[in-house]
């Protein structure tokens, strides 16, 4: 048995993940062998064949309540599962560690094959951690707030199904920056700079930087380029023409906006603590995931 820095462990997984039950069973056995209390998102095992004695050893809670009972949460899945969990638990300041059951895995750094060994190291404090900033986005209509959400990766204003360009004006700290006609604008955190913002031509921001990047999506003018600003700035986007436009949060929630709606973006009041294996290297991850350094010929 190890002496764990954490006493109450949460587990969150994507419900439709194939063959997740044996992985959950392994983790539950491991945590209980070390006298740790285990809480599991009730949605992730509804469709799974979990052994009855395992169900007697765990406490089921809704994902939205899990962080209230845990001091560490383990995410089983890919980056999408991690993003969904992060947006739920960040207000409770509970650290997250991700076990990669997906494909790309920028946010989930523990390999499934070495899962128990890595968790043993993490429980005794042998890990690297980083605090990631989040974006809070509020939509105002006639000066009344009509929607609010947070994002770990990015908030995006985009055209909708009509396929027509949208028009908007951007202000930073109430100072006019530019007007734009484009398919949209991505406002990204450093965590999200390797996601959609990168695909749209934005820069990579090193993890842990206190900055945001604003990346136009297919702007009509060739003079529109990505810019990077400090995270203590407030960003205001005034939608001047929205035939069919939406605001997306991490690609997981959205809100339909109308002409003359305002989107106010600023750093969320709480950061997210992400725990990585002790051998984690940021630039090595970029090489592996983005295939940097491959032979050119």
- Cα R_g (the chain), whole angstroms: 21
Express as a percent the part of the chain with pLDDT over 90: 72
Residues 189-202: what's their mean pLDDT? Answer: 95
3-class DSSP state for residue 239?
A: strand
Contacts for 116 with CB less than 8 Å, ≥ 6 apart: 26, 27, 30
pLDDT by residue (tens digit) across 8-27? 999 999 877 777 888 988 99
- Which of 79, 149, 250, 261 is labelled catalytic? 79
DSSP class per residue in 157-220: EEE-TT---EEEEEEETTEEEEEEEESEEEEE-TGGGGTHHHHTTPPPPPTT-SEEEEEEES-S
Q: Would you say residue 183 has pLDDT above 60?
A: yes
Whether residue 181 is annotated as binding a ligand: the answer is: yes
CA neighbours closer than 13 Å in the CB half-sphere of residue 99: 24
- Order of all β-strands in the sheet with 175-182: 144-151, 135-141, 262-267, 235-241, 166-172, 175-182
Q: Where are the domains of the chain?
A: 8-132+271-290, 135-267
Residue 247 has pLDDT above 80, yes or no: yes
Furthest C-alpha separation in the chain: 63
Task: Give the model's pLDDT for residue 158.
Answer: 95
Return the pLDDT at 42: 86
Q: Is the domain defined by 8-132+271-290 classed in CATH 3.40.50.10330?
A: yes
Are the C-beta atoms of residues 255 and 147 closer than 8 Å to each other?
Answer: yes
Local confidence band at 218 (pLDDT 50, 70, 90 cut-offs):
very high
Q: What confidence score (pLDDT) does residue 201 get?
A: 94
pLDDT score, position 199? 93
Question: Contact, 184 vs 156, CB < 8 A?
Answer: yes
Question: Was 256 annotated as part of a binding site?
Answer: no
Question: In the prediction, which pLDDT does 50 show?
Answer: 62
Is residue 268 within 8 A of residue 134, CB to CB? The reply is: yes
Are the folds of 8-132+271-290 and 135-267 the same?
Answer: no
Q: What is the pLDDT of residue 164?
A: 85
Residue 284 pLDDT greater than 90, yes or no: no
79 is catalytic: yes
Quick one: pLDDT at residue 120? 96
pLDDT single digits (tens) 26-73: 999 999 999 999 999 988 875 555 666 666 778 889 988 999 999 999
Going by pLDDT thresholds of 50, 70 and 90, the confidence category of residue 185 is very high
Is 79 annotated to bind ligand? yes
Between β-strands 245-249 and 253-257, what pairing exists: parallel, antiparallel or unpaired? antiparallel
CATH number of 135-267: 2.60.200.30
pLDDT band at 4 (very low <50, low <70, confident <90, very high): confident
Tell me which range, 95-99, 104-108, 222-226, is most confidently predicted by mean pLDDT.
Answer: 95-99
Is 295 marked as a binding-site residue? no
153 is in an annotated binding site: yes
Instruction: Determine if residue 261 is labeled as part of a ligand binding site.
Output: no
Looking at the chain, the whole-number percentage of residues with pLDDT higher than 70 is 95
Residue 284 CA to residue 249 CA, distance in Å, equals: 28
Average pLDDT value over all residues in the chain: 91
* pLDDT in the model for residue 287: 85
């Amino acid at each position: 048995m190890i002496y764990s820095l954490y006493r109450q462990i949460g587990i969150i997984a994507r419900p439709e993940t194939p063959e997740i039950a044996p992985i959950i069973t392994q983790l539950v056995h491991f945590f209980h062998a070390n006298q740790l209390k285990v809480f599991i998102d009730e949605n992730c095992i509804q469709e799974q064949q979990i052994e009855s004695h395992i169900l007697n050893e765990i406490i089921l809670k809704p994902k939205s309540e899990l962080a209230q009972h845990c001091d560490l949460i383990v995410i089983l899945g890919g980056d999408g599962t991690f993003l969904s969990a992060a947006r739920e638990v960040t207000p409770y300041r509970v650290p997250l560690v991700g076990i990669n059951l997906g494909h790309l895995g920028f946010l989930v750094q523990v390999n499934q094959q070495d899962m128990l060994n890595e968790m043993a190291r993490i429980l005794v404090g042998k890990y690297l951690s980083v605090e990631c900033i989040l974006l809070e986005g509020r939509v105002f209509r006639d000066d009344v707030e009509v929607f609010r959400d947070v994002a770990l990766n990015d908030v995006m204003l985009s055209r909708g199904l009509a396929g027509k360009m949208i028009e908007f004006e951007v202000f930073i700290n109430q100072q006019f920056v530019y007007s734009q006609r484009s398919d949209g604008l991505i406002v990204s955190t450093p965590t999200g700079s390797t996601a959609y913002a990168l695909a749209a031509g934005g820069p990579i921001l090193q993890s842990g930087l206190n900055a945001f990047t604003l990346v136009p999506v297919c702007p009509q003018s060739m003079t529109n380029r990505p810019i990077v600003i400090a995270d203590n700035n407030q960003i205001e986007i005034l939608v001047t023409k929205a035939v069919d436009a939406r605001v997306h949060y991490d690609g997981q929630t959205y809100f339909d906006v109308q002409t003359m709606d305002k989107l106010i973006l600023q750093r969320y009041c709480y950061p997210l603590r992400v725990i990585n294996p002790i051998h984690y290297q940021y630039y090595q991850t970029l090489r592996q995931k983005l295939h940097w350094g491959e032979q050119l010929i």
